[in-house]
């Protein structure tokens, strides 16, 4: 008798109660198994390397390293891992940036569990899954964005991945020492990144950096 090969799933969300619920429900599926959980984007990358999941269910907004940046970095290091984005927001910015980063699907957290299971099976089969709860307008705007702005580079893409990572932590209210400790670099290196971010974006204060980070989807006010 041939045993069913289960889809290995890693959950990444900063809310314990949501992870608990998803783990319990997913483990009831005969073809699925939750192999690990992460509460930050950076931890999601580390655990993905350790557990080699088939699917990473990734919250878009997380502390330290958001889902967009984490997905972008993960797809460079482990292109075979499928990323399914979860969000409370049907915002075009989140949808387009997650898909551009390499996500294979996008679901709203208000969806029923059966839709989550369907989405996981779809992306494992090589398909792209967008939640029907995301309005047709959002999808059309995304397609228009691809067709009309192929040669345009948003100001956010002027920043390197590390600079965007530093910017997120600045916007989350962390000081230079805390950021340096989190990234395992010197305080001077953080200060240099901060200076370069301000220079590239033409901004002059932490308040302006925070406003920019929220507006561009790097972090959230939630």
- Whether residue 221 lies inside any domain: the answer is no
pLDDT above 80: residue 149: no
Domain hosting residue 160, numbered range? 155-215
pLDDT, tens digit, 9 for 90 and up, residues 44-77: 999 999 999 999 999 999 888 999 999 999 998 9
CATH of the domain at 21: 3.40.50.2300
**How far is residue 129's CA from residue 106's CA, in Å, rounded to a whole number?**
6
- Whether residue 39 lies inside any domain: the answer is yes
Q: Which of 111, 127, 148 is the last residue of a domain?
A: 148
pLDDT above 50: residue 150: no
Is the CB of residue 156 less than 8 Å from the CB of residue 216? yes
pLDDT, tens digit, 9 for 90 and up, residues 128-141: 898 876 656 456 66
Indicate if 162 and 143 belong to the same structural domain: no
Q: Which of 124, 148, 172 is the last residue of a domain?
A: 148
Indicate if 142 and 125 belong to the same structural domain: yes
Number of structural domains (the chain) is: 2
- Whether residue 2 lies inside any domain: the answer is no
pLDDT (0 to 100) of residue 153? 42
- Whether residue 160 lies inside any domain: the answer is yes
- Whether residue 220 lies inside any domain: the answer is no
Indicate if 66 and 126 belong to the same structural domain: yes
Q: Which of 116, 148, 180 is the last residue of a domain?
A: 148
Who has greater pLDDT, 123 or 141?
123
Indicate if 69 and 115 belong to the same structural domain: yes
**How far is residue 151's CA from residue 144's CA, in Å, rounded to a whole number?**
13
Indicate if 49 and 108 belong to the same structural domain: yes
Indicate if 174 and 117 belong to the same structural domain: no
CB-based contacts of 45: which residues, under 8 Å, 6+ apart?
Answer: 65, 70, 73, 74, 77
| Alpha helices (H) along 52-205 | 67-77, 92-101, 113-124, 136-148, 161-171, 176-183, 187-201
CB-based contacts of 200: which residues, under 8 Å, 6+ apart?
Answer: 155, 158, 159, 163
Burial of 16 (C-beta count, 10 Å sphere; 0-12/13-18/19+) = exposed
pLDDT, tens digit, 9 for 90 and up, residues 71-99: 999 998 999 999 999 988 777 778 888 88
- Whether residue 136 lies inside any domain: the answer is yes
Indicate if 68 and 144 belong to the same structural domain: yes
Indicate if 130 and 42 belong to the same structural domain: yes
pLDDT above 90: residue 208: no
Indicate if 121 and 21 belong to the same structural domain: yes
Indicate if 95 and 168 belong to the same structural domain: no
CATH of the domain at 168: 1.10.10.10
Indicate if 16 and 115 belong to the same structural domain: yes
Indicate if 205 and 112 belong to the same structural domain: no
pLDDT, tens digit, 9 for 90 and up, residues 158-182: 788 888 889 999 988 899 999 999 8
Average pLDDT over residues 21-28: 95
């Amino acid at each position: 008798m041939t045993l069913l090969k289960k889809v290995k799933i890693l959950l990444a969300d900063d809310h314990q109660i949501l992870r608990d619920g998803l783990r319990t429900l997913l483990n009831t599926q005969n073809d699925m198994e939750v192999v690990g959980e992460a509460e930050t984007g950076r931890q999601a990358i580390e655990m993905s390397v350790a557990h080699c999941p088939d699917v990473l269910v990734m919250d878009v907004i997380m502390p330290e390293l958001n889902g967009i940046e984490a997905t972008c970095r993960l797809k460079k290091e482990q292109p075979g891992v499928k990323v399914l984005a979860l969000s409370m927001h049907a915002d075009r910015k989140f949808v387009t940036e997650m898909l551009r980063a390499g996500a294979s699907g996008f679901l709203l957290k208000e969806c029923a569990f059966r839709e989550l299971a369907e989405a996981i099976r779809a992306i494992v089969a090589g398909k792209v899954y967008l939640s029907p709860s995301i309005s047709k307008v959002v999808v059309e705007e995304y397609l228009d964005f691809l067709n009309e702005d192929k040669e345009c580079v948003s100001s956010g893409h002027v920043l390197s991945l590390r600079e965007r990572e530093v910017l997120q932590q600045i916007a989350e209210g962390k000081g230079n020492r805390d950021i340096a400790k989190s990234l395992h670099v010197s305080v001077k290196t953080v200060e240099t990144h901060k200076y370069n971010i301000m220079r590239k974006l033409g901004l002059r204060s932490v308040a302006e950096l925070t406003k920019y980070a929220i507006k561009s989807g790097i972090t959230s006010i939630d």
